Structure 1
């Protein structure tokens, strides 16, 4: 078991998301940085979809009530196990009674905003609609359908078992960098109503920088920049949307739908952040700026192949480490 010692940390239990439920009006949820969760699980020998704890607000503290291997991925948060500093993107071993503390994310060009704590065997909470992810809007999944609070206790399914640790990975922010004029970039496919916006607005969308405002969360990122202007006013019926869709309300300031997005909406769809880049957005800090790169379908598929290749490389590295003989 691990016990949460922090209050108001907005941490939640997440796996890779709830697939197949959009037709019932249930969003996907899941880790904002799916690569961080998948890699942390692979380091521990877990199923890639095992549930972990996503931490967006710091400091965050947990106590291990029994021996347990764990991995820290996502943002580098100057983590400590008791008084010992820990490497990010690394697997570690905790002993019963030790306290893990995650501090503020470290500054730098690759600074992230969310840490992911994976534990041996995964966080053991019930599956709901095929996923252990927390669905905050519907108040189900995860741990009692809510953010974690002080005193909550979570069971690590593999606690107490031997788990080879003490190795780490090069994070995807370094292995798969994507910047435009030294600003974090994400790739976008134009969507259904793209051509209904003024040509100058379309040009500004690709050329300008966009600030992620404080009105951003797991549901959506509200951006601030040059307003996008439609050629003519548009009124639309609600229609299906998925994470990554960029909608434009009447203000002209785009909203990117994120992991907890509702499955329908009525604003015009300007574009869609490709699936391969959603993890980049998930790690972009509030107040930071991003840029957009236009791609076509073939380029979007190639980008997804690149991500899969990185995960395959992680699997090979982990397998090599686990098969290596112990050095006494």
Structure 2
């Protein structure tokens, strides 16, 4: 029971919700850049939320399905076709052995997630099947997929009727809680941080998004000891152009910490397009908690709907 890669695309990897509990060893979290999309796709086909699926960055891509089963796509809308039949994001779709799934360039978003019932059955390492591209382990040989690869699938689940759910569309406004070094920004730099657009540069990747915009400089330069960092942290390197740490972020860093992206908005960052613009919105802890509650209520509705169908 396999999935054959016909066209891998620029970067397709096996991901789940990430590798937790090993950061003290210098191991990054990895996992889906858009954890919301991966979770919804998995639940639609009856998998646990953290089952291994495919993260497909900027298709086109194509796959041959070598057993019967169910699939779901979420994230970027890639005008997918199962043979000649459209497959819409957010829908549970049955497939037959021998059928081909093809994804085109996305109409919006950056990453599509393909979940299949039973999940991608690669062995977990340190508690996760996620691919760590920098360290070279997890997923399939610690690397992005190539044309001709074959991936093992888990045991198929009992078939279910067709079902669709509403998927939120990512926006460009990203809520941020100010960080420890934010008060060291002059007033004019603070205003630029919140009021200026930030462009996602081509040098961005799964480790971090490098942004281009008005330069931000601290009141006074100061050496900082190395400190723990996490996905969502906004760092300010000496060139004054912020870096937003993403899923494959290193465990420690030494740049000033301007802020932390609200956890409920990380999925939107995962769908940001290279060359696109982001706008930071100043937020607080109460706002962050409310945003997380709203996200969990949405996922709760998805869970109930999938359990009933």
* Contact in 2 for aligned 1:79/1:103 (Cα 8 Å): yes
* Contact in 2 for aligned 1:68/1:158 (Cα 8 Å): no
**Structure 2 residue aligned with 1:112, among 109, 113, 130?**
109
1:80 aligns with 2:68: no
TM-score, L = length of structure 1: 0.91
1:139 aligns with 2:100: no
**Structure 2 residue aligned with 1:208, among 184, 187, 196?**
196
Three-state SS of the structure 2 residue aligned to 1:142 is coil
How far apart are the structure 2 equivalents of 1:7 and 1:223?
A: 28
Q: What is the root-mean-square deviation of aligned Cα atoms in Å? A: 1.2
How far apart are the structure 1 equivalents of 2:114 and 2:212?
A: 31
> Could you tell me which residue of structure 1 aligns to residue 49 of structure 2?
48
* Contact in 1 for aligned 2:201/2:275 (Cα 8 Å): yes
Q: Tell which deviates more after alignment, 240-249 or 227-236.
A: 227-236
TM-score, L = length of structure 2: 0.97
How far off is 1:94 after superposition?
Answer: 1.4
1:239 aligns with 2:235: no
1:219 aligns with 2:207: yes
How far apart are the structure 2 equivalents of 1:138 and 1:271?
A: 27
**Structure 1 residue ranges, 4+ long, deviating more than 6 angstroms after superposition:** none
Three-state SS of the structure 1 residue aligned to 2:92 is strand
> Could you tell me which residue of structure 2 aligns to residue 148 of structure 1?
145
Correspondence list, 1:275-294, <5 A: 275-294=263-282
How far apart are the structure 2 equivalents of 1:93 and 1:196?
A: 55
Q: For residues 290-309 of structure 1, what are the alpha-carbon distances to aligned partners after superposition, in whole Å with 9 as ceiling and x for unaligned? A: 11111111211111111111
Q: For residues 7-56 of structure 1, what are the alpha-carbon distances to aligned partners after superposition, in whole Å with 9 as ceiling and x for unaligned? A: 45310000001111111111100100001010011111111110100000
Bigger proportion of residues as strand: 2
Three-state SS of the structure 1 residue aligned to 2:37 is helix
> Could you tell me which residue of structure 2 aligns to residue 12 of structure 1?
13
1:272 aligns with 2:268: no
1:171 aligns with 2:172: no
* Contact in 2 for aligned 1:119/1:158 (Cα 8 Å): no
Judged with a 3 Å threshold, the aligned counterparts in structure 2 of structure 1 residues 165 and 37 are, in CA distance, closer, same or farther, namely: farther
Number of residue pairs the alignment of both structures matches: 308
> Could you tell me which residue of structure 2 aligns to residue 71 of structure 1?
72
How far apart are the structure 1 equivalents of 2:120 and 2:135?
A: 20
How far apart are the structure 2 equivalents of 1:264 and 1:17?
A: 18
Runs (5+) with no aligned partner, structure 1: 179-183, 323-328
How far apart are the structure 2 equivalents of 1:119 and 1:256?
A: 31
